[in-house]
């Protein structure tokens, strides 16, 4: 569960960075923040889903 919470925190911080850089019109940073949000958000959601469905954080345990 610790991993899922950390991944979710990184995704939330990436969302804040995405909004901030959109305001600054720094589109290179928007790309990196958007990519980070997508990757870390996906992994956090799937880790939480795995914990809820299988009872463990690993795949197939």
36-52 pLDDT, tens per residue?
Answer: 999 999 999 998 898 88
Domain boundary assignment for the chain: 2-54
Q: What is the pLDDT of residue 61?
A: 53
Q: Within the chain, which residues score under 70 in pLDDT?
A: 57-61
Q: In this structure, what token pair is assigned to residue 9?
A: 């925190």
pTM: 0.81
Query: Please, is 10 exposed, middle or buried when counting C-beta atoms within 10 Å of its C-beta (0-12, 13-18, 19+)?
Result: middle
* In contact, 57 and 4? CB cutoff 8 Å: yes
């Amino acid at each position: 569960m610790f991993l899922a919470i950390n991944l979710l925190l990184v995704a939330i911080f990436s969302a804040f960075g995405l909004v901030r850089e959109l305001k600054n019109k720094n589109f290179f940073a928007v790309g990196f923040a958007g990519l980070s949000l997508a990757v870390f958000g996906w992994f956090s959601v799937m880790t939480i889903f795995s914990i809820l469905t299988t009872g463990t954080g690993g795949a197939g345990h």
